[in-house]
Amino acid sequence: MQKMLKRTKIVATIGPATETEEVIGQLIDAGMNVARFNTKHGTPEWHRERVQRVRKVAAEKGLPVAVLLDLQGPEIRVDLRDGQAFSVRDGEEVFFTFNKQSTEEKVIFIPENVVDTLQIGNFVLLDDGACEFEIVKKEDDFLMAKALGDFEVKTRKTMNTPGIVIDMPSLIDPDRVQLDGAVETGVDFVGLSFVRDKEDIKILRDELDKRGLKDTSIVAKIENQSALDNLDEIINASDAVMVARGDLAVEVPFEQLAFWQKLIITKCRLAGKPVITATQMLKSMVESPRPTRAEVSDVANAVYDSTDAVMLSEETTIGKFPVKAVETQAKIAAFNEEYETSYLDEWEDETDPSLVAHAAVYLMQNEENSIDSVVCLTETGNTVNLLTRFRPKVDVHALTSNELTYRKLALNYGVIPHIVEFAGGKIEEPNAMVEILKEKGIVKSGETVLVIYGTIWKTPGLTNSLSIVHVK
């Protein structure tokens, strides 16, 4: 029987350091459950070929590995004259403009609508907050800003405007090109950057539908104030959520970041939506074989917050120790999960699957039952989502005949997905079903198994039954 060494899942970003089949296999062995592809870098052809490699290696290992295509979204990147970086001193003034004919010595080129929107007294941050400016003067075609510190300004770095909403489309043309490129291989999740409200989710869902990708799940990335203001509707409209702490940490005061992380994770659990905690979790391992103490605490804290998954970015795209970074996250998660106490006393839905999931948790918490594992039959994964939000301390074996559901459930905390086939029709005898699972090695003799199922196999929405079975 496949036994889970950790219940928290790991999302690892594929890049130059990890693009070969050999290293992809090593990442899976180390604990990668979801392979992320960042479309800010690479062509659709590059991503398509690497997605195929992930699919091939995962199939050879007989393990579910989901694919997350992370769209760039409408981020603002600055341009410099001839791409040349320059240094500024505290209090020095620089110009922000859309006029490429500007003759100012230290000038930063930005879109016209950004110049139009910003006002005197607003703050501008570049390069994930490494450069901070305050707008001190505004004219029709430029902004004058005062540097708040000594730093170097580099070209093509991101620009953030904390507290100021810039009118920009939710998807840009390169995003649509990447979606076109995903049609051939298919992807399990699509990440939507800089989500502001549920309408952004709808726009992406419509684009997926147009391409025959309607069953692909949407991961809403929470990384600006608008998303926080509309958090509940975004969670409800999406299929999963990412706490994207890179941009979020410069959009809100940094002292608030841990608060928002905990709140987002809790709200996702209440709604039964998987949640990923991301950005710079083990960044020092880009260069070092060991994480810092603060990074170890950061990963552990996400586990204690009850996140479904933790993510690696530069650590596995360009890092010197990508496999070790995954192993490190896995070790931290596996140890701390045993001491995490997760309470969830409220839930938002009263559907049959939700009530069945809650009843299952009650049975697991009753020590007299001594449940060793859970087996849940699912077609869409919905019942599993509702169950695992309670973070059970035993393995949850999700049985499905749907390949897409099989891979998607790789993101859920504590879930071991399996592809199985049962005869169609009514399921009347869970003991007979468990015997089949024993033959497949999913359960074993002597175990006490909690089985969650519906009376009709492969029919979504009919999960309504629980049985405790002692495997002979």
What pLDDT score was predicted for residue 435?
86
* C-alpha span between 52 and 59 (Å, rounded): 11
CATH (domain of 149): 2.40.33.10
Are 106 and 19 in the same domain? no
CATH (domain of 380): 3.40.1380.20
Are 307 and 191 in the same domain? yes
Domain boundary among 137, 160, 183: 160
What pLDDT score was predicted for residue 427?
63
CB of 432 closer than 8 Å to CB of 87: no
Q: Residue 101 class from Cβ within 10 Å (0-12 exposed, 13-18 middle, 19+ buried)?
A: exposed
CB of 318 closer than 8 Å to CB of 42: no
Is residue 365 assigned to a domain? yes
Q: Which residues are catalytic?
A: 36, 77, 221, 279
User: What tens digit of pLDDT does each residue of 223-238 get?
Assistant: 999 999 999 999 999 9
What pLDDT score was predicted for residue 361?
86
What pLDDT score was predicted for residue 128?
85
Are 374 and 230 in the same domain? no
CB of 108 closer than 8 Å to CB of 80: yes
pTM > 0.85:
yes
Are 30 and 127 in the same domain? no
Are 218 and 356 in the same domain? no
Domain boundary among 122, 137, 160: 160
What pLDDT score was predicted for residue 214?
95
Number of structural domains found in the chain: 3
User: What tens digit of pLDDT does each residue of 11-52 get?
Assistant: 999 999 999 999 999 999 999 999 999 999 999 999 999 999
**Residue 32: what are its φ and ψ, rounded to 5°?**
-70, 130
- Identify the three-state secondary structure at position 259: helix
Is residue 275 assigned to a domain? yes
Are 69 and 85 in the same domain? no
CB of 210 closer than 8 Å to CB of 92: no
Is residue 420 assigned to a domain? yes
Q: Identify the segments of the chain with pLDDT beneath 70.
A: 1-4, 345-353, 367-368, 423-428, 457-458, 461
Are 328 and 369 in the same domain? no
Is residue 426 assigned to a domain? yes
What pLDDT score was predicted for residue 27?
98
What pLDDT score was predicted for residue 1?
41
Are 186 and 307 in the same domain? yes
Is residue 391 assigned to a domain? yes
Those residues with Cβ within 8 angstroms of residue 193's Cβ, 6 or more apart along the chain or in another chain? 70, 71, 72, 73, 74, 75, 221, 223, 244
Is residue 83 assigned to a domain? yes
Chain position carrying tokens 């910003």: 118
Task: Give the domain range for residue 367.
Answer: 352-470
Domain boundary among 336, 365, 385: 336
